[in-house]
Amino acid sequence: MELRVLRYFQAVVTELNISRAAERLHVSQPTISRQLKDLEDELGVVLFERNGRHIQLTSSGEYFANQTNQILALTDKTLANVNTAKEISGTLALGSAEARSFLTIAQSIKKLQRQYPKIKTNLTSSNANQIRANLKSGNFDFGIVMEPTDKHEFNFIRLPGESRWGLLVPRQSRLANQDHISLDDLKDQNIITSAQHGMLDQLQNWYGDSTPQFNVVATYNLLYNASLLVSAGVGYALCVDGIINTNQSDLTFVPLTPRITTGTSLVWPKGQRLSTAANAFLVQLAKDIEQPLPITD
């Protein structure tokens, strides 16, 4: 199976038309058709359902298309990071939780950009579960995750600063008039929580031996969409401060009491060799936050 054939397949998936894919790739239509047939024979599955000029992915084709996208993305990233010149270039791939401490990362990226203008940054907003999977597959160089999280498989640096937990509520809500919200105030309320693994365990830790008495009506990956659920009246979003700009909006953030905070960490897989671009970023970040680089495995 050649990368060239995978790129043919990817183009056909994008266009859902062999003629347009051939024109885009500057090859003949029979060449692509033949390569796709050979690919299906090699895999032993049917990738496309063909109906005249119209084609559609089968369930096997959808799975293979997803895997192909990951393979080609990793290939392109690897090729970009192969640096034979003295000047460092390549792509820095980051997966990040929504956190105020990302500003520290952004400031380091700005300094890195000045020093090595040929380094490009790919940033994906994600949660800890997806960041972990993408780090293992090599799609991300680093992840920025909210604490607490299991880091036994990763090297890590704690980032400065903490974020405070609270509730995102509509301004017309009764809770919006309070300076703080206690855990008892959540009783019988409809709550929207993060889908991050371990969040319910964290809530149980906050409550101690008591059982939380609120209703989890939805979970979220990114807080922006959760804020729209709050605006629509679905429930109140349990989240950290500083992510949603509530100025001139119909929402407000009310912190929990007693004060509950969380930090963030930069993580990367143990035993994985960093690209020159990723290593340059790590050195810059450690310098900026005045922390020694951890001893890596």
The pLDDT-based confidence of 84 (bands split at 50, 70, 90) is very low
Residues 167-180 have pLDDT tens digits of 999 999 999 999 99
CATH for 3-80?
1.10.10.10
Cα–Cα dist 226/65, whole Å = 30
How many C-beta atoms lie closer than 10 Å to residue 165's C-beta? 17
Q: What is the mean pLDDT of the chain?
A: 88
| Third-level CATH fold of 163-262 | D-Maltodextrin-Binding Protein; domain 2 (3.40.190)
* CA–CA separation, 206 and 204 (whole Å): 5
For 188-208, how does the pLDDT look when each residue is reduced to its tens digit (9 = 90+)? 999 999 887 666 667 767 777
Q: Which residues contact 178 (CB under 8 A, 6 or more apart)?
A: 185, 254
| String of DSSP letters for 229-284 | HHHTTS-EEEEETTSS--TTSSEEEEEEES--EE-EEEEEETTPPPPHHHHHHHHH
Closest of 137, 146, 128, 143 to residue 78, by C-alpha: 137
Asked if omega into 258 is within 30° of 0 (cis), the reply is yes
The pLDDT score that the predictor gives to residue 107 is: 96
Predicted confidence at residue 295, as pLDDT, reads 60
218-246: per-residue pLDDT in tens? 999 889 999 999 999 999 999 999 899 99
271: left (phi over 0), alpha (psi -120 to 50) or beta: left
Q: Which residues make up the CATH 1.10.10.10 domain(s) of the chain?
A: 3-80
Output the pLDDT for position 297: 52
Burial class (CB in 10 A: 0-12, 13-18, 19+), 83: middle
Fold of 87-160+264-288: D-Maltodextrin-Binding Protein; domain 2 (3.40.190)
**CATH 3.40.190.10 domain residues, the chain:** 87-160+264-288, 163-262
